[in-house]
Amino acid sequence: EVQLLESGGGLVQPGGSLRLSCVASGFTFSSYAMTWVRQAPGKGLEWVSAISDNGDNTYYADSVKGRFTISRDKSKNTLYLQMNSLRAEDTAIYYCANYDSLDVWGQGTAVTVSS
């Protein structure tokens, strides 16, 4: 079964850091670009970041550029999102997804930035 499972969300103070993980199974992880999408409470979907299949190329939304870092570990079939200098407006459900296939999404992990 094709699956993505996120973890690492939680409550963090403004200015803090958090690392999200997304474990892939059921498909050849190293063959696909991957991405993170977030959804603030009661709001729409916002693309956050993407990484090429081999990890050589990374892309970021302007809203997170310079604060977030996307990476991947093919030996662990895992996608990461390192989030630094977190702000209240980063509060959201964070989804990982298969960038190339469009149809494979995780269930999401919740990040709350609050003092």
Partner 1 sequence: DIQMTQSPSTLSASVGDRVTITCRASQTISTWLAWYQQKPGNAPKLLIYQASTLQSGVPSRFSGSGSGTDFTLAISSLQPDDFATYYCQHYKRYWTFGQGTKVEIK
Which region, judged by CB under 8 A, interacts with partner 1, from 23-31, 43-51, 67-75, 76-84? 43-51
Say whether residue 105 binds partner 1 (CB under 8 A). Answer: yes
| 25-60 exposure pattern, b = at least 16 Cβ within 10 A, e = fewer | eebebeebbbbbbbeeeeeeeebbbbbebebeeeeb
Q: Which of 20, 35, 51, 78 binds partner 1 (CB under 8 A)?
A: 35
* Residue 13 or 101 with smaller CB distance to partner 1: 101
Site size toward partner 1, by CB under 8 A: 17
Say whether residue 50 binds partner 1 (CB under 8 A). Answer: yes
The phi and psi torsions of 33 (rounded to 5 degrees) equal -70, 150
The phi and psi torsions of 95 (rounded to 5 degrees) equal -110, 140
Tokens of 88: 């209240």
Where do contacts with partner 1 occur on this chain (CB under 8 A)?
35, 37, 44-47, 50, 59, 61, 95, 99, 102-103, 105-108
